[in-house]
Structure 1
Amino acid sequence: MAHIALIGASGNVGTRILKELSDRSHRVSAIARHPEKIQAWPGVVALKGDIGDEAALAALLAGHDAVISSVKFLDSDFDRLTGAVRAAGVKRFLVVGGAGSLEVAPGQRLVDQPDFPAQYKQEALQGAVFLDRLKAVDDLDWTFLSPSALFVPGERTGTFRVGTDQLLSTASGSSISFEDYAIAMADEIEHPRHSRRRFTVGY
């Protein structure tokens, strides 16, 4: 059983990760701007936190075995977020990533394709920058988990593929449910296989 801090615990993805961790009997500090929105599952403590206040966030993160960030990249400040993790003395840092930086062909990112949805492009580009900056970090044991192109609510099947930097797809497209993504994130916490690396999951 691990003691995990989850930033952005009330969001679509954060909620699924929180439920998965609770179901596996981990203790979770669920951090959000509106903690009243957080589900009262076993082992979960809801905390009010602002990712813009590095010192206050560090105080919330102290004493945990791992930190997960499930916050939109456009709402994040890389330096403040990683600075808070460092100041808290937590080494394990996992990030809910995006699909945009995955390759669809050698040297060709999904986000750079002409049919990439315009409404998601800035978030995807910021996620790519976040990943590039993480790659230069050597004092945190980080992991960046990218979903597939279609990332939506769905079933918890427990059946999916794991990849590295290439977009996973089938004849019917590229997708993963929030629920199965949460399984992959919890698995990585329990059995780390992607230290200082990005990986991806999809059907």
Structure 2
Amino acid sequence: MKIAVLGASGRAGSEIVKEAAARGHEVLAIARNPEKIAAAPGVTAEAGDAADPEALAALIAGSHAVISALHFDVPAETLLSAIRKAGVSRLLVTGGAASLEVAPGKRLIDSPDFPEEWKPFAMGGITFLDALRKTDDVDWTFFSPAALIFEGPRTGSYRPGTDQLVTDEAGESKISFADYAIAMVDELEAHNHSHARFTAAY
């Protein structure tokens, strides 16, 4: 499969590029600073700015899917505009955990111990997901990680979920970037969550 990864030099993006290429996919790795993208078989690094939908559309045209590992400073409609112009049918988004439910009708961001300083960024992810949920003409998937996503080993193990925060027997919700990338590429290949959100954690 030919895929384009946006934000390919970041922590999530670089692991997704690595995982997808290792499985034999043809990866176009796009970043503002492509020199930061590790060279690997099957990976082509290109400079690109997702805030410029016309230029991005030209870059991603011909891809079977786009995986966005961007921060939420690029609005959903800007990215969707590029997807539409390029004629790409699928968009998978590295999302945030804040909108996951910790109890019926109660989101993680609404928890009393959710750090106040994280809320502006977290709201960006929530706004992005809300925009996707109003989108019918692009086959989107929003992947919320565990509450804690960290640099760690690739274990090849995770537990999937949908709209509820996944926690372990100690009540913790966490996953490494490497295993997050496995779950993302699994979704790319299995296509289980069309027009939907899912999550994964240990």
Superposition TM-score, scaled by structure 2 size: 0.97
- Write out aligned runs for 1:12-161 (5 A): 12-73=11-72, 75-161=73-159
Q: Which amino acid aligns with 1:144?
A: F
What is the count of residue pairs matched by the alignment?
201
In 1, distance between residues paired with 2:28 and 2:189?
17
The DSSP-based 3-state class of the residue aligned with 2:49 is coil
> For the residues of structure 1 that align with 2:145 and 2:2, how far apart are their CA atoms?
24
User: Percent identity between the aligned chains?
Assistant: 57
Q: Report the RMSD for the aligned CA atoms in angstroms.
A: 0.8
Name structure 2 gaps, 5 residues minimum: none
Normalised by the length of structure 1, the TM-score is 0.97
Amino acid at match of 1:195: S
Q: Deviations over 1:148-191 (max 9, x none)?
A: 10111111111110000000112331101101110011111111
**After TM superposition, which residue ranges in structure 1, 4 or more long, deviate above 3 angstroms?**
none
Give the C-alpha shift of residue 85 in structure 1: 0.5
CA distance in 2, matches of 1:36, 1:176: 27
What secondary structure, in the 3-state scheme, does the structure 1 residue paired with 2:12 have? helix
One-letter identity of the residue aligned with 2:2: H
| 1:200 match | 199
- Measure, in 2, the Cα distance between the counterparts of 1:127 and 1:62: 25
1:185 maps to amino acid = M
Letter paired with 2:119: K
- Asked if structure 1 preserves the Cα contact closer than 8 Å seen for 2:15 and 2:178, the reply is yes
